[in-house]
Structures are given as C-alpha cells and as structure tokens.
Amino acid sequence: MYGNDNWINSYLDAILDAGKGATGAGAGAARGRGGGGGGGGGYGDRPSLLLRERGHFSPARYFVEEVITGYDETDLYKTWLRANAMRSPQEKNTRLENMTWRIWNLARKKKEFEKEEANRLSKRRLETEKQRNDATADMSEDLFEGVKGEDAGDPSVAYGDSTTGNTPKISSFDKLYIVLISLHGLIRGENMELGRDSDTGGQVKYVVELAKALSSSPGVYRVDLLTRQILAPNFDRGYGERDEMLASTSFKNLKCERGENSGAHIVRIPFGPKDKHLAKENIWPFIQEFVDGALGHVVRMSKTIGEEIGSGCPVWPAVIHGHYASAGVAATLLSGALNVPMVFTGHFLGKDKLEGLLKQGRQTREQINMTYKIMRRIEAEELSLDASEIVIASTRQEIEEQWNLYDGFEVMLARKLRALVKRGANCYGRYMPRMVIIPPGVEFGHMINDFDLYGDEDSPSPASEDPSIWFEIMRFFTNPRKPMILAIARPYAEKNITTLVKAFGECHALRELANLTLIMGNREAISKMNKVSAAVLTSVLTLIDEYDLYGQVAYPKHHKNSEVPDIYRLAARTKGAFVNVAYFEQFGVTLIEAAMHGLPVIATKNGAPVEIHQVLDNGLLVDPHDQHSIADALYKMLSEKQFWSRCRENGLKNIHQFSWPEHCKNYLSRILTLGPRHPAFGNKEEQKVPVNCRKHILVIAVDSVSKEDLVQIIRNSIEATRTGTLSGSTGFVLSTSLTIAELRSLIKCTGMHPTDFDAFICNSGSDIYYPSLPNNSHVTFALDNNYRSHIEYRWGGEGLRKYLVKWASSVVERRGRTEKQVIFEDSEHSSTYCLAFRVVNPNHLPPLKELQKLMRIQSLRCHALYNHGATRLSVIPIHASRSQALRSGA
C-alpha cells in the first residue's frame, strides 16, 4: 500500500474538506434565490451528493461525510500536518496509512456504539412507560373520575401556568424576603466576566439580573443571591467580599419603604478550598458545608429584617430558589431545614446534556460521567423535583421534551394529580411539582431609538464619540459599511460556531453582501485556554484562513459586559442580523437582547428559539446541521430589505413580553400562591443543657456493628472527652438508625443515664428525642414535634406504605425466586415517619437506585436506605436525614 500515495492523500484531503460546499458555479449566489427561510429546504443534501449530481462524485469524500461524523477536525488537521512533514516518503505513507485505518476503526466503533445506545434507550423507554402505566393503574378508577373533562385538556393543570383564579395581589406592605442560590461561576454585580470559563455564562447574568429586578418589585424587601466566596489569588478581590449590594433596576411607581438591610445583595458563603476556584463538576463534596453557612446567614438575616421593619418576629424567606443542579441540592437541604417552600430552575438539564454527548459519539457513558459528573448531576435534578413546589421552565418544550425524561416528572400524571388537587381529592401520598413557564427577562435600559439604529447614513465609519468597541470590531473589516452578521457565543462545540463560519465562507454572495462578527468570550492566549475552547477557536481561525476571510470576519479578543449593548447597536446600525445556530439552545437570552436592539435573528430550530420566534416573529429558524440553509436564511434576511424591516418592527413591538417587570410579576404571583411555611423552632426546656448552648458537640454515629461493640464505642467516646480539656463544654448526640425503644435498651446496657446525652437522632434521622429532666419521672424521652412538622412535607403516609408492601412482595418474582420472599414489612420497627422492612437475604436485594426510581415514577417522594448490615430497609421523608436532624436540633 506504500505506493498508493495518491489514494491516501485524496482520502485525507477529503477528511479535511468534509462538509465543504461545492466549488464553482452556483455555490454562492444561487443560494440567495428562493425561500432560504427557516427550513433550509432544497439544500439539506450532503455536498458529496450534490457533486454526484454534477458528475464529480468522490467516494472518499462521501465516506467521510456519511460515515465519519462528530470528530474534531482540528485534531485531524494537526495529525495530517505531522504526517505530511515526514521527509521519508515511506515513513510518511506509513503514518498516513495508520491514520486512515485508525479513522476507519473509530467510525466502525462509533456506529456500533450508536446502535447499542439506541437499543438501550429504547428498552429504557419501554420499561419506564410500563412503570408509569402501572402507576396510573394502581390508582382506582374512581380516583380519576371526572379528570378527563375540561381539566385534562387544560395545560395549566399540568404546568400550573394559568394566571386565572384567586391570584393574590402584591402589596408594598408584604415585605418579602427571597433567597436565590447559584453556587458555581464568577458572580458579581458589575463587569461580569461572561465567557471567562465554562461556568460563567448566561446563567450568571440571569441570576444577577433576577435578583436586581425582584428587589425593585413592590412587596419585596430583600433578595439574597447566595454563592461561593472565592479567595483565589488569580481572581478579582471582589469575589472574596462577603456582601455586595446590587444596584436595583428602576421600576415605575415603586413606593416601598426601604431599610438599611433592604435591596438585592450577593452574599458569598465560604465553603470548599479557600484559595481555589472550583468548577461546577468539583463542587459536589462541599454542598453540605455551604448549607451550614447559608443556614446561619438566613436565620440571622430573618431576625434582622424582623427587627428592622418593627414586627419583632423573624421574616423568614418566602422561597428558597435554587439555580442549576448543585444549587438545587443546596436549596433542598436549606428549605428542609427552614421549612420554607423551594423553587427550582434547572437551566441546562443533565439528561439533555448526556443524550447530546452520547449522540456525538466521542465519549462513552462512563467517560462522560467521569468528565462531567453527569450521573450525580441528574440525581441532583431528580432530588430537586422531589422537594420543589414550583419548577420554573423557560419554554413548554423544556417541560415536555426535557423534564419529561426524568423519573420524577411525567406530563400526563402531573395533569391528573393537578386535577385531583384542584378538586380537593385524595392523591394517596403522590405529589408532583408545579411546572411554570416564565421566560427570562431582559433589561430595557439600552432600548434603541431610530437615530441609534440608522446613525449618519453619509458617514462611512463611526464618529469619534462612538463606543470604543466599535473601533475594535471595525478595524478587522475592509469595508465596514456592509451589514454585520453578529454571533455572541462562548467557544464551545455545542454552539456550532464552525458551521456558521463555513456557511459564510462558502457562500460568495453572502461574503460580498455582509461582514461577520464573532464575539467568543474573552481570551489572552489560545495556549492558556481550556482544551475545548482552544480547539473550537483554533478551528475557527483555521477556517478563516482556509476561506481567506481576512477583512470580512471580526473576532476581537476582549470586550466588557457593559459593551455588549453597543455591539448590538453597531450591528443594528449597519442593518445586519443576529445569528445563533447552536445545536440546541436551552433558552437564548441573546435572541431577546438582539430583538430589543432592533436586530432580526436567524436561530436554531432546536430548543427554545422556536417558542421565542412564535412570540416575536422577528426572523427565521434553521437546521443548525445544514450550513446551506444557514447561508440561505442570512442572505434572504440581508438582501430583502422589506423583510428585514418587518422582522425588526415585529421584534421591537413584541419584546415587552420578555421584560424583567413582566417576569417578576409572574414570578411573585406564583410564589404567593404557595402555602406559608416557616421554621417551627421551639424551646427545648426539657433538655438538661440545650444543644445550641454547647460550645462543642460530639456526634456519635455508628451502625452496622454488634450491640456490644456499639456500647463500647459510646463509652470510649464519652470517657475520652470527659478527661480532656473539652470536659463540661461538650454535649453528646447519639445518631443511629435504631428506634427509640432499641436506644433505651442500648443506653441501659452502657450503664449510663439518658441525661448524659443532649439529643438522640433515631430511625435514620426521622425522629429527634431529648432526655427529660429528672423532675419529670413519667417521661424519659421527649419527642421533638417541631422537627416532625419540618419533615412531614410530601410524606406519602399510608399510600406510600401500601405501595411498598406491594413492591416487597414482588421482589421475589422479579428475581425469579418464587420459593422465598426477600423483604417483609416490619411494623415493630416502623414509626410515623419511618417505614421499616425486614430483609431476609441481603444477597438478593435490589439496588437502592432501582427502588428510588420506582418511587419517583409513582410520584412518591421519599428517601430509601439499607442499614443494620443491609438487614433492614428504612424509608423516610424527603427532608429527613441525620444531617438535617442535626441542623434542626442545633
């Protein structure tokens, strides 16, 4: 094969050329004809197939386009350069041959993997569908009597997005306290460093602007945005400030008296390594630490606000609102500890990201999980569904196509349960969060006027008083008067920037008509960027060189967040268009910002832009995989002036529906419908020494050992502390999965008295007991009913027990062992908020995640755990755990 140099070179040339449009007549101006609109019809075929129609078919090129997809062309290009640089022809040919066969092997593996993954997903969908059908069938026919009427067809029953009915009015006297949580990224009020890393993007801007907007709304006294304190030396010192007050958005007719602690604040809680910035994938081990710090802040602030407004009573948060999966876990724990409602916004869901990465075929499921901690993220989102009263989505598509993939939510079951709640019927322990559609807002402080849009028609370049970012962009262009195609996106593969550059580079008519501006975050040197961003940026620069786009494409290295409105204004002034061709767009705030500045848009047809387009009607939708449809749509928009003007006017006319005041109005109307819940912190007079008065607390948490060993551990722990310097200032808490009766027997064996302990956490965290005072001889242990009022939230009770009994009897059948049942109900060790089951043979236990999945599919919200050496199964409320019991008891 060494002599077949021509074949190998043509094959590798085809690899480097994959996706490149047909050269010659018709590749440019021809695409400007006809309906270059949203569908990309007529040019959806591969370039190799078009070449075949013209008599220039290349088998190698066809193979590359049809078989090899999803590989990073930058890596291929670098490999090809290294191979081509070999001086010895034989060594060169050997390397080229090895590369060729390696690609062939990768392509075969990719196809096999895709087939296996498709089969796995199909099997999983069938199993989930069967389980969901069983969930409905388990409920008696009379349970759903009347649901199929008008309620069943009402989307608001499923999503909770109807504003009709008794919507509470927002008063300036309400004095609401709202807590937002966003743990990752670089968050500050001014000069946000959007695009500095993969965690600092649109979500950061969203939560900051939401905090500002809410704090300016009537009836809202204070908004806290809780995030992580960052003291790393290579980051701005502002990220280390504990409290940063945000300048509120100015709303009309705002008449709300303010105090010293009112307004919007970024509150940075120290957790994790003090001198290191953590990526979102590495933040999971430190969430419990964040919750402890956040709990202390919220309790103090609630008391401070109560004193400030003169009520004398603490003003507890109206809601705890978590943003993104990690903050969802934090909000779940914090809302459970405070007994206040939780709201959740997922932003970019883990299951959707996982499916997208699997379709690319570059990584296996295990590799994806190792890189992105994706399974932990998905479990966090499931937990957030368990605990949330409201889940805020940007679009209906997010609910029906993304959240509907999760075990804890199903559209039809949600609709039925909502109808039952509406009728006041018994749901038998089943709960489903309300899905509410509230699109993000934008600030209208930069709304354009006609002078901003058209400027001075006779001026070929911006005047001296024009923003400096205009000069930074226009210096790239040979002819800066041409309409500007603007794209603002971080350099990540899913943003599909390379396809946009190809679409521009291969359409000569479009190149003659317009310039292209790429705002791809901020960078110093490509060599210092992360690998993913560096690869995308290198690909972009390679394509600019390949198509010789110098003087036609701008790609500035730096811009400030405050300069983004000026960039939109420049594009609008040149009568250009905004383009977002991401493979999938969760929402796309940039599309709304572009419309606000009078820019028509060309957007991906995958995701939220479809619904934005339905409202604004200010552009075209395209297939992000089809570069020809992208070029056609851009050419149509910029060449047909009447169409451009109509899109611009439609966007400006309808943009008010995406304002922050409208968002906050909808937001507050939803949270005010939630039943008021607040902490039930009671006094603990019956304790010998209250836990919260101790200087130190020693928690003895031991299970899965023999009774004798447990007794010895307790004795050794207490004796070691009493003989040291901590003697007298240390309290003892015994935390276990045992029942209170078992604990009483255990303490008796130690020869100790209950009053030697400050508290007892029993039944795996579902109960707290305190020792009674010596003068109360009738009661040895006092139950903490306040804690029970915290954990009763969404407890399934008898409905949950009946389902678990049915499940336990079916375990044998599913395991194929009909001669012996594995799990039995254990009434002796059960309590009001802990359902216990005895395990006969731990070797045949189903995985806990399997049971948890079944519970969620049934809309039963709880925690399940094995203890006592896997001989006992305990099922407890969603807000119950040993750590939560400690927070409540302390």
Residue pLDDT, tens place only, 377-418: 999 999 999 999 999 998 898 999 899 999 999 998 998 898
Distance of CA 667 to the CA centre of its chain: 19
| CB burial of residue 122 (10 Å; 0-12, 13-18, 19+) | exposed
Residue 354 within any structural domain of the chain: yes
Query: Do residues 748 and 884 share a domain?
Result: yes
Largest CA distance in the chain: 102
Task: Kindly give the parts of the chain with pLDDT less than 70.
Answer: 1-93, 95-97, 99-110, 130-173, 248-257, 445-464, 681-692, 704, 723-728, 773-779, 813-819, 890
How far is residue 857 from each of residues 25, 343, 589, measured CA to CA in Å? Answer: 57, 21, 33
Sheet strands (E) in 500-626: 515-519, 553-554, 577-580, 601-604, 619-622
Start-end of H helices in 477-522:
497-506, 508-513
Q: Is residue 100 part of a domain?
A: no
Q: Are residues 211 and 352 in the same domain?
A: yes
At 448 the pLDDT is 52
Q: How far is CA 403 from the centre of its chain?
A: 11
Q: Please report how many Cα atoms fall inside a 13 Å half-sphere around the Cα of residue 96, on the Cβ side.
A: 26
Amino acid 746 reads L
Structure tokens at 637: 């928009």
Question: H or E element: which one contains 181?
Answer: strand 176-181
List all residues 6 or more positions away from 439 whose beta carbon is below 8 Å from its beta carbon. 394, 395, 587, 592, 612, 657, 658, 663
Same-domain pairing of 366 and 457: no
User: Using N-to-C axis directions, what is the helix angle for 641-654 and 627-639, rounded to 10°?
Assistant: 90
The residue among 776, 741, 743 whose CA lies nearest residue 759 is: 743
The answer to the question of residue 880 being in a domain is: yes
- pLDDT computed for residue 53 by the predictor: 44
> What's the pLDDT score for residue 716?
86
Rg (CA), the chain: 31
Look up the domain containing 834 and give its range.
Answer: 688-890
Q: Which tokens hold the place of 330?
A: 């934090």
Q: Which residue has the tokens 């039995």?
A: 824
Partnered with residue 177 across adjacent β-strands are 222
Run of H or E including 488: strand 484-488
The contacts of residue 707 (CB under 8 Å, 6+ apart) are 746, 749
Structure tokens at 508: 């000569």
Identify whether residues 309 and 275 lie together within a single domain. yes
Q: How many domains does the chain have?
A: 3
3-class secondary structure, 57: coil
pLDDT at 455: 47
Q: For residue 8, tell me if it sits in a domain.
A: no
* Cα angle: 436, vertex 338, 728; to 5 degrees: 160
Same-domain status, 373 and 505: no
The answer as to whether 109 is a domain residue is no
The sheet that has 835-839: what strands, in order across it? 823-825, 835-839, 872-876, 863-867
Domain boundary among 644, 659, 674: 659
Q: What are phi and psi of 823, to 5 degrees?
A: -125, 135
Q: How many CB atoms lie within 10 A of CB 159?
A: 21
The predicted model scores a pTM of: 0.79
Judgement on whether residues 355 and 474 belong to the same structural domain of the protein: no
| Domain-terminating residue out of 393, 410, 437 | 437
Dump pLDDT digits (tens) for 553-591: 999 999 988 899 999 999 999 999 999 999 888 888 899
From residue 871, alpha-carbon distances to 703, 812, 844 in Å are 12, 16, 11
Residue 118 within a domain? no
Residues 366 and 467 in one domain: no
Question: Would residue 244 count as lying in a domain?
Answer: yes
Q: Are residues 471 and 431 part of one domain?
A: no
Instruction: Provide the pLDDT for residue 603.
Output: 97
Domain assignment present for 887 = yes
* CATH assignment of the domain containing 538: 3.40.50.2000
- Tokens representing 174 are 């309400």
**pLDDT (0 to 100) of residue 778:** 61
Are residues 222 and 250 located together in one domain of the fold? Answer: yes
Q: What is the pLDDT of residue 153?
A: 46
Question: What is the DSSP-derived secondary structure letter of residue 440?
Answer: P
Looking at 410, 437, 464, the residue that finishes a domain is 437
Both 416 and 459 in one domain: the answer is no
Based on the fold, state whether residues 489 and 516 are members of the same structural domain. Answer: yes
Residues 793 and 829 in one domain: yes
**Angstrom distance (rounded) from CA 124 to CA 120:** 6
